[in-house]
Chain A
Amino acid sequence: MDFVTFGVQLLNAVQYGMVLFLVASGLTLVFGILGVINLAHGAFYMLGAYLAYWIAAYTGSFWLALVGGVIIAFVVGWLLEIVFVRRLYGRDHLAQVLLSFGLILMVDEIRLILFGKDVHSVAPPAFLSGAIQLTDNMSYPVYRLAICVFCLVVAAAIFLVITRTKIGMIVRAGAENREMARVLGIPFDRVNRYVFAVGIALAALGGIVVSPISTVFPGMGDGMLILSFVVVVLGGIGSVAGAAIGALLIGLTDTFGKVFFPSISSILIYVLMAAVLLWCPNGILGRREV
């Protein structure tokens, strides 16, 4: 494999990992901070893609789809927290699994009613379509490069908010010791609502971002949900930085697995997960159990 091909495959791996990160970061936030296992995360990824298709089809603007889709998802997440999810805090995982499974069915049914079951695709913005020619036979789609840049910006933003702002401090305090933080007068009702809504918005954002390079179809979130859980477990539950590392590892394993070991590529990520968990049972950046 020549240098350019290797470089392009590396880009493929990073780009794939970036999308995974986007979706998994929302999952890990909700899981790590609210302690809620949200199996419906993949359903919101799908919903994001359908919203993007729908808005883009009616307005013709990818940017409106991006912004509108995220806002709608955020509001939906906000409302769901108030109506359903707040009843789950501190409940056992069975209750959470049951409720989030119910959410999957709901989202899927609503998607069916609103958008039907056709396969759709979304056009990328004009200046991001096309490919950059690297050598005479090797080129790279501009939109995929844009995904890398965009996801880096989002990752940096999440990281800064969590480590550098007051909101982040409150969120971290809640994850660390909820009772103590409550005694200090932190309004958790509101914080939880934000965290859950942001988590859902991130899942939807993932779906919106991939809609121009993927297709929008029912069930597109299923595979993504499983991969996101792998990323979260790999990186350590609740750790955004861990999710980034986990997502990149999966991207690399999957991409190079497909190229070099095609016959076993589908199990390689699980082999990776098993190996990492043997080495550090709480994930790469996971906190030790106290």
Chain B
Amino acid sequence: MSDRKALLRVTRRALLSGAAGAATLAVTPRLFSPAIAQGAPFKVGLMLPYTGTFAKLGQFIDDGFKLYVEQKGGKLGGREIAFVQVDDESKPEAATDNVNRLIGREKVDLVVGTVHSGVAMAMVKVARDTNTLLIIPNAGANDATGPACAPNIFRSSFSNWQTTFPAGKVLVDAGHKNVATITWRYTAGAEMIGAFAENFTKNGGKIVEDLTLPFPEVEFQALITRIAALKPDAVFSFFAGGGAVKFVKDYAAAGLNKSIPLYGAGFLTDGTIEAQGAAANGIRTTLHYADNLDNPANLAFLKAFKAKTGKDGDIYAVQGFDAANMLEIGLTAVKGDAGARDALVKAIGAAKIDSPRGPLSFNKAHNPIQNIYLREVRNGRNELVSIAQANVDDPARGCKL
């Protein structure tokens, strides 16, 4: 209100010069705008955990994405790619602000994020509200490509359901009938263990105890003692990042790795295997990737990633790499015109990608259809044992696309 009063009091002369100024400002950019628009880079907002327990995972996704863009000379579909980074610190309470900063202030054309499911769901909500293109390069929350699915939301990763559902049958086939489960008490934990239990009990297995502790607590010792007392045939677990390192080490330190086989979702040993050392040997996990997948795309990827970062690529890096591949497919289909949203989305949805992880395509909910592999830790690597289930398609329960 006070602004309006101030406006009414300005003199005629001031008003005129102001108007002249405003007109100049309004016209000037338009004179140059065609040139700018053509050369303006496509802005990718990377919202990832660069600090905290998932920091390394976030960095690998970032490295993977940028590796792909570098391999294409910094351009995808003819458009120069520019990056804006935001550290989400895996904090759901700051997620909405962070993603709004990327979309509102930085005006990014695409958001890529994130690792933590709670943060990702906040991002999904904002992406739906603002119709911003979003590629989720890790967080597996089932809802993102379930009830909350939207045309502008893709995953380059997996749904929680997808990674552990095949494990249910794997454990029964290996003769483990009485199994204890252990995880953090948060969305990802419940969904991973839930999908495992669904397939496990369907095939005749019995869950003897469902152990949980609050995220991201790492004091596992009490529960490990509980497992020793329960004497199950095997343990199925889901942990990731720093917590996964500690769990595996505690499990081995208590001597349980010798008597009770440890299984898990692949995140237990992916990105964490080096810090786990010998304690990880023999752990079997299911995931949409294995370190020694012997396909040309993977061999080339691992070589290039090593050359760029000096580190061994893993599934997180692959998911970042594939996210960039998806963007390229979309941008190529519209010849770099990000405004042609429908055609861009349709092209990604129909993509058949020769990913380092194997064949990758998408279902109607925009969740990947991909192989889930059974891997075993040998000599510090997640080595392929077998394909636990080929072309696993998430049921996308609740998605109305």
Contacts and interface: CB of A to CB of B under 8 A. Distances in A.
Instruction: Specify which of A13, A141, A217 lies most central, judged by the most chain B CB atoms within 10 Å of its CB.
Output: A217
Contact of A121 (B50, B51, B245, B254): B245
B96 to A, nearest CB: 21
A159 B2 CA distance: 66
- Interface size class on chain A is 35 or more
Contacts, number: 113
A177 interface: no
Nearest to A120: B275
Contacts of B140: none
A235 interface: no
A262 B253 contact: no
A8 B51 contact: no
Nearest to B211: A262
A282 interface: no
A266 B217 contact: yes
Nearest to A132: B255
Contacts of A129: 253
B249 A5 contact: no
A254 interface: yes
Given A223-B217, A262-B212, A117 B55 contact: yes
A112 B219 CA distance: 25
Given A218-B51, A219-B51, A219-B53, A137 B249 contact: no
Interface in B176-211: 185, 211
Interface in B269-316: 272, 275-277
- Interface size class on chain B is 35 or more
Contacts of B185: 263
Interface stretch (B225-233, B334-342, B362-370): B225-233
Nearest to A1: B229
B241 interface: yes
A9 B56 contact: no
B259 interface: yes
A2 interface: yes
A262 B222 CA distance: 11
Nearest to A256: B222
Contact of B246 (A144, A215, A258, A263): A215
B214 A143 contact: no
Given A213-B249, A217-B53, A137 B231 contact: yes
B217 A118 contact: no
B229 A121 contact: no
A140 interface: yes
A259 B226 contact: yes
Contact of B219 (A5, A16, A123, A215): A16
Given A119-B241, A215-B245, A262-B211, A137 B228 contact: yes
B279 to A, nearest CB: 9
A12 B52 CA distance: 26
A262 B185 CA distance: 10
Q: Which 9 A-B pairs have the closest CB atoms?
A: A217-B242, A141-B253, A266-B214, A139-B255, A5-B229, A117-B55, A215-B245, A131-B255, A258-B222
